[in-house]
Amino acid sequence: MTGKVLAERYEVQRQLGKQTGRQTLLARDLQTQELVVIKQLFLGSDFEWQDLKLFEREAETLKALSHPAIPRYLDYLEIDEPDSKGFALVQTYVDGKTLESHLTAGRTFSESEVKELAKSLLEILIYLHEQNPPVIHRDIKPSNILLHSRSGHTVGQVYLVDFGSVQNQAAKFGGTITVVGTYGYMAPEQFGGRSFPASDLYGLGATLIYLVTGLHPTELSQQDLRIQFADRVTQLNPNLIDWLEWMTEPSLEKRLSSAGEAWRALKNPRHINKSPRVVQLQGSDLKLIKNSEFIEIVIPPPGIGFGLIALFLAVGLPSIVLIVLLGRFSLLPYKLGINDQFLTIISGSLLCAIGVMFLFALFRELRLRIDRQQISYSCHLLGLRWNHSRPAPRQDISYWEIEEIEYNVYEVIIQSGNQKYRIGVKQGLSESEIEWLATELSQWLGLKIKTTLSLNSFVDNSLLY
C-alpha cells in the first residue's frame, strides 16, 4: 500500500488504522506537498447503507466547519479499482499524539492540566453546539483527542478528531434508532438513540475521569448509573470532583445542559453543601449523619438489659452491703478474720466495674464513619473518643453483606481488606433498619449487597448481587 497513489494525487505514506470495511491512511498531497489523512469506506460483503450515511454525514459536516482545533475537509473521492471499491474522505493531518496514547504510556495529568484540557475541549464544543443546527460529536473519548506540542507545564494544542459518529439535531434516519458511541463514554440517553449537546458533556466528563483516576470508566463501579470515582481522587479539589459528577450525571435533566454552562461552572464552581444532615428512621434509634463528603452511622447505647440488672443484683448489691457494714460497724472482718481494707478494695473494684458497665449501657455510642479517605469505627462516651476498630483506606472496601444472627434479627458486615466492621452485632437490626441502611450504604459506597439471605421481600433487588 505504501507508495500507492490515489486519484492520481495522494501518495500513501503509511496506514494509521484499520477496522472491518474501513481504513485510515497517511498520505502526501502531490500538488501541495502537505500531509493529509484519508479515511476509506469499502463496499464489501459487510457493507451497510447506514455506514455510508454516517460517512457522508462526516464529510458534509467537516465541509461546513472551520475551527483551528478540528481537521479541515479537503476532498471526497469515489474509489473504483479492481481490488477495491468505495469512498474516501480527505482531511488535514494533525501531527499529534492521542490522549489514549499518553495514558497508555503512563503519562499523568495534574489538576491544572485537567482543567486546561477541559476548557480547550469545551471551547471546541461551544463552537460545534452553536452551529445551526447544533453539531453533536457523539464519541468524545481519549482516542479522539489529539495533543500537539505538550510540555511539562501545559497540555499543548488540543484537537478533536474523528467525526464519524457526528449528528446534527435536525438529522433523522427515518424511523430507525441509531446507537453510536463508545461504551463507558456514552451518555445513558445515547443507548436509546437520542443525542443532545449534553451528551457530549457526558463523554468529556468520562474522559476527564479517566485522566484523574487512570482507569477506564468501565473499570470503575457504578451506582444508579453514576460513575463512582471520588474515593480514588481524594487529592483533587472537591469543586472539580463535584463538576465531574455534574458532567456525568445520568439524568439528562440534572446534567449540565450546554458547553457554555459547563465552562462557566468550571470557572465559577457552584456552592457545595457540606452541612451535615441528620436522618433518623421512624421507630428506630439508629441515626445517619451525612453530607457530600461523608456518611456516619450512629449506633445508640444498648440500654440497661436483664443481664446487667442480674449482674448488679448478684454482685453489685452485695458489694454495697459489704462496704456499708465495713464502714459503719467494722464487725464483719473480725468475725471472719479478714483484713477490712482488702475487702473494701475488692468490693469497690467490683462496684466500679459494674458502674462502668452502666455508663456504657446508658451513654456509649458507636459511630461507623466512611468518608473519601477511610472507614473508621469509634466509641464515644461522655465526650471521650477511641477507636473501636482500626481505620482502613476507603478504597479497600470490597463488599458489604447482611447476616442473620437470629430469626428476623440482622447485622451488617463491611469488609475492608482483611478487616470486618460489624453494625448491630450486639442488639441486632430489624428488617426496616436493614432496608434503610441497605439503600443509604449502597448509594454512598457504590457497592451492592453480597448476601445469600432471602431479603428480596424488604430490600430492593437492584441493591442485591
Query: Which residues carry out catalysis?
Result: 139
Find out whether 166 and 57 touch, Cβ atoms under 8 Å. yes
Rounded CA gap, 316 and 351, in Å?
6
Under 8 Å between Cβ of 417 and 394: no
CA quadruple 45, 46, 48, 54: dihedral sign = negative
Contact 255, 198 (CB under 8 A): yes
Cell matching residue 405: 444472627
Three-state DSSP class for residue 445: helix
Task: Taking the CA atoms of 118, 120, 122 and 125 in sequence, report the sign of the dihedral they define.
Answer: negative
Strands (E), 93-232: 97-98, 135-136, 145-148, 157-160, 167-168, 222-223, 226-227
| Whole-number Cα distances in Å, 207 to 141, 145, 182, 204, 269 | 6, 10, 11, 5, 20
Rounded Cα distance, 195 and 128, in Å: 14
Count CB atoms within 10 A of the CB of residue 23.
Answer: 19
Q: Measure the CA–CA gap between 4 and 38, rounded to whole angstroms.
A: 13
Which residues are bridge partners to 412 per DSSP? 402, 423
